[in-house]
Structure 1
Amino acid sequence: MRKVALLINQVDNVVTALTDLSAGDEVSINVSGKDVKIKLLSNIRFGHKFAIADIKKGENVIKYGEVIGRAITDIKKGEHVHVHNIESLRGRGDWQ
Structure 2
Amino acid sequence: MGAPHLLVHDHTDNVGVVVVEGLTSGTKMLCVVTHDNSSFSLTAGADVPIGHKIALSDIKSGDTAIKYGEDIGKFIADVAKGAHVHTHNLKTKRW
Task: Identify the TM-score tier after normalising by the shorter chain.
Answer: 0.7 to 0.9
The residue correspondences of 1:5-44 to structure 2 (distance < 5 A) are 5-20=6-21, 21-30=23-32, 35-44=39-48
Please give the alpha-carbon distance, in whole angstroms, between the structure 1 residues aligned to 2:9 and 2:55.
13
Q: Give the ranges of 4+ consecutive aligned residues of structure 1 lying more than 4 Å apart after TM superposition.
A: 30-35
Asked if 1:83 corresponds to 2:84, the answer is: no
Aligned-pair CA distance for 1:75: 0.5
Structure 1, unaligned runs of 5 or more: 92-96
Aligned-pair CA distance for 1:17: 0.7
Paired residue total: 91
Q: Report the equivalent of 1:50.
A: 54
Say what the alpha-carbon RMSD is for the aligned residues.
Answer: 1.7
Aligned-pair CA distance for 1:33: 7.6
Structure 2, unaligned runs of 5 or more: none
Deviations 1:11-36 (Å, cap 9, x if unpaired)?
Answer: 11111111121011111324578643
Deviations 1:32-58 (Å, cap 9, x if unpaired)?
Answer: 786432111111111111011111111
Give identity over the alignment, percent: 35
Query: Is the contact between residue 55 and residue 84 of structure 2 (CA under 8 Å) also seen in structure 1?
Result: yes
